[in-house]
Amino acid sequence: MSVPTAVAARTVCAPLPVLGRDVTVPLVTGGEVTYAALDYAASAPALQRVWDDVAAYAPYYGSVHRGAGYLSQLSTDLFENARGTVAEFLDCRPDDQLVFTRSTTDSLNLLARALPAGCQVFVFETEHHAALLPWKDARVTCLDAPRTPRQAVETLERALADRDPHGPALVCVTGASNVTGELWPVRELAAAAHAHGARIVLDAAQLAPHHPVSVRELDVDWVAFSGHKLYAPFGSGVLAGRADWLVAADPYLAGGGASRKVSRREDGGVDVEWHESAARHEAGSPNVIGAYAVASACKALTEAGFDGLVVREEYLIAKVRAGLAEVPQVRVLSLFGDDAPRVGVISFVVEGWNSSHFAAALSAEYGIGVRDGLFCAHPLVRTLLGGDARSQGECGAPEAAPGEKSLNAIRVSFGAGTPDEHVERFVNAVRELVTEGARWQYRTQDGRCVPAV
């Protein structure tokens, strides 16, 4: 299987400059090698542009919103301008609110706290735990994993048709799977939700770094994503969308910044008037640098042009998939099939290997960083693996129950900063490990597979 001609023939842009591209790491077999960071789906490296922007601002850092000094006013302007930049990046509607949070997980937990009473939530078992778990105070309907995009829409339509039509409802769905990288039919799912009187929130953690996300074109009610996956690893996230549920809900955190007016009552209690803007859910001193970093990344990706970034990523995806297809012992995990459009996230298992052992060998012997395990999407990975019993290899999987050590996989992920050499080294390393075996002995330590000393 070779790289498709249509992809190879197109002009592929150079990778965007990222931090860490020249970092060297030691090999257990001796010597050093430039580190190949292929775990973008967990945390992407910072764009050099983001780092430079943050470094330029850092000396001017000051308190936000309530300071009279020059640095405080500058920081306030920067923080609020960042909000506008991210809203523009997401193509938000004029009356949408954009709240800065800590991460996608934080964003979806915030929205879960804002659900109206009696709200029913519909979520596929294929979701990341950040989207699967926050809805504990709502009536949750967990939908089976679909095997085609059309089946996903039909499954949701059937579930929504059976719900109470008079109560509020919310659909939560990913834009791109953090396990298979496959793109989900977000626009069609949004149409199905709205046709049945439900709202929809898009988990764009894996989509936003790879493809443009338009709230208006996708017709979603909210979108959530994390800065650390968008080349801005400074602990910031975003929840953007409809204001009404957010304004009607109690503040996510109670404290300064969320409150507009606080007064004592004669009975000794306290009366509070809360903000109705995004500040309602941003209590405390905000993460100004994190918000600014997210805005910087949004600008950098927009200026680089998603058209070119997508072409480059499709080229890398084709190279990796072609290389893995040449190794019969490798099975790539997929819900929608080989032809499904996807981002640069690919999970697989290797016959005769425990995935933890394989990932450890890639790191220790080749300087390649990938992820192994269940990727905080346990129901999906277990569904994709089907409970198959496979050889355990020399190391057990992290967090595996007895008899379930084979139920883990390897994930390689990449993006705008990945050079060709990294994916080529990865493909060659997979082939060499499968055909020749590891050159080192490994053991399990604290639930991880590590080189034996």
Contact between residue 352 and residue 391 where contact means Cβ atoms under 8 Å apart: yes
Q: Which of 172, 298, 376, 395 is catalytic?
A: 376
Reply yes or no on whether 298 is catalytic.
Answer: no
A 10 A CB-CB count for 441 gives: 10
pLDDT at 238: 98
Q: What is the DSSP track for 37-79?
A: E-BTTT-PPPBHHHHHHHHHHGGG----SS--SHHHHHHHHHH
A 10 A CB-CB count for 94 gives: 5
Q: Which residues of the chain have pLDDT under 50?
A: 1, 4-9, 388-394, 397-405
Helix (H, G, I), strand (E, B) or coil at 442: strand
Contact between residue 240 and residue 223 where contact means Cβ atoms under 8 Å apart: yes
Q: What is the pTM of this model?
A: 0.93
The helix (run of H) or strand (run of E) holding residue 305 is none
pLDDT at 8: 47
The helix (run of H) or strand (run of E) holding residue 155 is helix 149-161
Cα–Cα dist 133/28, whole Å: 39
Which two three-digit tokens encode residue 218?
Answer: 């996708």
Cα–Cα dist 450/444, whole Å: 6
Cα–Cα dist 281/140, whole Å: 24
Contact between residue 383 and residue 369 where contact means Cβ atoms under 8 Å apart: no
